[in-house]
Structure formats: structure tokens, C-alpha cells
Structure 1
Amino acid sequence: MRTLLLSLLFLLAVIKYSYGQTKVVTTSPTKTVFAYGGDLNKDFLKYVIGLTQKSNPKICFLPTAGADNPYVINYWYELCLNFPVKPSVQKMFVNSSPGQKSFAEHLLDMDAIVVGGGNTLNMMGIWRAQGIDTVLQKAYEKGIVLAGGSAGSLCWFTSGLSDSRPEKLSIVECLGFIKASHCPHFSSEKSRKPLYLESIRKKEIPAGYACDDLAGMLFQNGKLVKAVTLDKTNNVYFISEKDGKIDEQKLVTELIK
């Protein structure tokens, strides 16, 4: 009898303890990429700010594709004057000196990172040499908003076409956060669209998303959740191959301007 009573008391204690515990539910950060077809402008910057869900977000500009062009950097700061943000720039063409933050310390402290346009192939080479590809992967996993246009949109995808070499467009392998190919400037550059379609038809690159200069795509956790545009003439497309033929689908866009 005594053993049974002790067992019941122990069971009641366990039940009481269990009910008294607060269950902790952990959720992974939302991995966000906002890619737009053209280069940086105030409307897309405003959209990026909104994605951070912060009242005064820290946003860093990566001008690597433009070789850290000082005029582009000045333009970035001019754009940011119109918004409640804490802007910064991470240059890649730097000299070592004591007291500097590392690339990782700077970038992983941001609420958003915006990548500028220029030479995609050179940018990817520099990033890989400097370990920026690894830092951006950590930023993506951390939930820092990643954004950009032109080279700054192409970089997040598996691959795409870039005007990074003389003579003709070439295929460039990118970060692969979005498992699809990509083509910026889809309607504005005449040579880009037919070559992108042909590359997909020949299965040289995977199916993917094409974007006009004033349109953009919001991806969360690797999936397209919204296509947006600044006017009614710029669009987003999904391009795939079926039975050796191209299937070009114009996606529904939301006007954000």
C-alpha cells in the first residue's frame, strides 16, 4: 500500500510539473530576397525598407559589380536622404588597417543588404575570393533582407545571362539561394531575351524568372510569393521548356508605386 501511495504521489508531481512548464516554440527566420530587373531607385528602396519591418533599419549597399564606383555610392546616399534609414556601404576594394570591422561583422549587423548593378561575373569572382558568398549565405539564413537589381538581382539565383565579357552575353553561375535561373532587363535589352529563351530551351540553364526594369519579385524561403511593378508596362515572367519549346508565362503583378 505504501509503495502504491508513493507511486501515485510521484505521478501527481510529474503531472503538476509538466502542466506548469511553458512550451517554447522556436521559429526559423524568414529568408527573404527581393530582386528587381533594373538598378536601384527610390521606389524599390522604399519597398526594401518596408520588408525589414523596422522603423529605422540599417541597410548596407554593396557596389562590387560597379567596382565600388564613387558616383554610384554617392547616389546611394542621396536616395537614402529621403527615408528613415541608417545607410552604409561595404566596399570590396579596400586596404587593411587596424580597427576596421570585418566584412562579416559589418554585413551580419544589417537589417537589409542591397546589391548594385554592373559586371556580375567579376562581382562573383571577388565575392568568392573574399568570402562574401559565405557571409551572404549566413545573412540569408539569419533573415536579413537581401535585395538588388541587374547584377544585384541575378546574383541570388542559380545562374543566368550576363554582359560581363566582350562580344556576347555569357552564362554566369551565381549564389543559388533561389533555385532557378534569372534574366534582368528582359524587355529593355534586345539581345538578352532571345538568348535567355534559347538557353532554357537547350537546357543550358534551368527554368527561371525574367524581369523588366521596373518590375520585381519577392521570394520568401526560396518561393516566389509576389511579383510587383512600378507601372503597367513592366512585367515579370516565368520561362520554362516543354517538349523542346519555350513556355513563357506573364505573372500577375501588384502595382506598388
Structure 2
Amino acid sequence: MRRICFVILLTSICFAGMGQGTQGTATRTIFAYGGGFTKQFMSYVITLTKKDNPKICFLPTATGDNANTINSWYSACEGLPMRPYVQRAFVASSTDSKSFEENLLSMDAIIVGGGNTLNMMAIWKAQGIDTVLKKAYNKGIILGGGSAGSLCWFQGGTTDSRPKDLSIVKCLGFIQTSHCPHYHSEPLRKPLYFDNILQGRLSAGYAIDDKAGIVFENEQYVRTVAIDDKSNAYYVSVVNGQIDEKLLPVTQIIK
């Protein structure tokens, strides 16, 4: 009788453990859009969290924690069913009682702003924020952003972070492709992206117009969304020695 009870108990524990493992597997989600944050994009991020009144944190590192950028963030969030936060990178121990990890891993979503991608990546690495973002990604916290805030999640792409010319920058590589934001709004972006891919300086990747965005889940393309019917996203690669620009269907217009 004791042996039977022990077997039943052991079986129950095993099945319980299996259930917890299945439920505990987080979906890794990135929402990359081509330009700056807008109220429409923030509304969409809220839906991605699948939570009521989610905590969403803004990282303005690429503009050096610029006050105007932070004010624009709060304006974009005004009236939305969310709790907006800001995580500055230019901080002091005397004024910040929590670590970057404690703050960021308590969020439901993290949005990265535009600006100087190269400087942002250097600061993140120095502060260990890059490692925290990887933990957030694996935890299932929604990651997103536009411009530098979209480029940062990919292997790399072209940036205006240096004087004179657009140049290549290496990024976090959560999505193992290249990326081009501002695809049609800045005339030099598209031809340079084509040339870099054709010459092998960049891998194939995703190009996004300012008012469009792409959702990735577990490093796989899921869908393209847009604010209007003129904005799109593309997959750019080399086929038979020539650039192949594949238009990705827009599945949802964000209101």
C-alpha cells in the first residue's frame, strides 16, 4: 500500500513539474518599428503585453537622456492604459537606490528611443544594460523601439552615429539579421543598405518604413503592422547575385 502511494505521489510530482516547465516557457517578443515612438505604437505595445495597465519603461540612452525626448515619451503615453517609466543611464548612486536590473526586470515592456546608436551601445555595455536586456528578453518582457531603438535588437546596420557618412554599427544580435530603419524617409538609407548586403558587409535583413513595424516572436518574423496604408516593411537579401527586395504584407493598421 505504501509503495502504491509512493508511486502515485511520484507520478503527481513529475506531471506537476512538466506542467510548470511548459507554462514557464516565456515567449521572447520584439516589436521593431522604423521611426520614432507614437501614441499608436505605444497602444500596440500595450496589446502585446496582454496585461491591464502594464508597466512600460523608456530608455532614452541614445539621446543622452535628453529631457525633451523624455517629455515626448510621456506625451505619447498620456491617456493610454499603461504606467510609463523612464530608465536613465546617466545616473548617480546617491539618487538611484535600485539597480538597472531591478528596475528593468520589473517591467512588462521596455521601449528604446532613437538617437546615436553607437554611443548607446557603448554605454549599455559599460553599464551592463546589454546583459540586463538579454535577461528581460528571455523573461518574456516585450522589447521594442524605433530608429536606434529598432536597430539595437539586430546584428547591426547603418547608422548616422559618426560624423560625415553613414557607417555600420554592431548591435545586440537578438535577431540574427541586419536591419535598416527609416527605409524610405532618408534617401541614402536604401541604396547603401542594398550595397552593404550585396558586398557582404551586412547579412540579409529587414527594412522598415518610419510608420511601420515588425513583430518577432522567438527570433522569428510574425507580422507587419503600420499606422497608415502607405508604410511597409521588407526583407532584403541576395538571390542569384542580385538584390531581392520582398514586400512583407501588412496584417494590421494601428488606429
TM-score tier (shorter): over 0.9
2: CA distance, partners of 1:206 / 1:116: 24
2: CA distance, partners of 1:51 / 1:99: 29
- Residues 10, 149 of structure 1: alpha-carbon distance in 2 compared, 3 angstrom cutoff: same
- The equivalent residue for 1:181 is 178
Aligned sequence identity (%): 55
1:84 paired with 2:81, answer: yes
- Residues 19, 159 of structure 1: alpha-carbon distance in 2 compared, 3 angstrom cutoff: closer
The answer as to whether partners of 2:31 and 2:143 remain within 8 angstroms in 1 is: yes
- Residues 21, 130 of structure 1: alpha-carbon distance in 2 compared, 3 angstrom cutoff: closer
- The equivalent residue for 1:209 is 206
- The equivalent residue for 2:15 is 23
- The equivalent residue for 1:151 is 148
Moved runs in structure 1, 4+ residues, more than 6 A? none
- The equivalent residue for 1:47 is 44
Look up the equivalent residue of 1:191 and give its one-letter code. Answer: L
- Which of 167, 170, 177 is the matching residue for 1:170? 167
- The equivalent residue for 2:115 is 118
2: CA distance, partners of 1:173 / 1:246: 22
1: CA distance, partners of 2:196 / 2:99: 39
- The equivalent residue for 1:256 is 254
Alpha-carbon offset, residue 77 of structure 1:
1.3
2: CA distance, partners of 1:32 / 1:39: 19
1:28-65: CA deviations, max 9, x gaps? 10000000000010000000011111101111000001
Which residues of 2 match residues 215-230 of structure 1 at below 5 A?
215-230=212-227
- Residues 139, 93 of structure 1: alpha-carbon distance in 2 compared, 3 angstrom cutoff: same
2: CA distance, partners of 1:126 / 1:19: 50
- The equivalent residue for 1:198 is 195
2: CA distance, partners of 1:145 / 1:236: 20
* TM-score calculated relative to the size of structure 2: 0.93
1: CA distance, partners of 2:74 / 2:215: 24
- The equivalent residue for 2:132 is 135
Structure 1, unmatched stretches of 5+, are 1-8
Alpha-carbon offset, residue 229 of structure 1:
1.0
1: CA distance, partners of 2:3 / 2:99: 55
What root-mean-square deviation, in Å, do the aligned CA atoms of Structure 1 and Structure 2 show? 1.6
Look up the equivalent residue of 1:256 and give its one-letter code. Answer: I
Alpha-carbon offset, residue 18 of structure 1:
5.7
2:149 aligned counterpart, secondary structure: helix
- Residues 13, 84 of structure 1: alpha-carbon distance in 2 compared, 3 angstrom cutoff: closer
1:140-174: CA deviations, max 9, x gaps? 00000000000000000011110111111000000
1:23 aligned counterpart, secondary structure: helix
Alpha-carbon offset, residue 67 of structure 1:
1.0
2:206 aligned counterpart, secondary structure: strand
Alpha-carbon offset, residue 66 of structure 1:
1.0
* TM-score calculated relative to the size of structure 1: 0.92
- The equivalent residue for 1:106 is 103
The answer as to whether partners of 2:156 and 2:179 remain within 8 angstroms in 1 is: yes
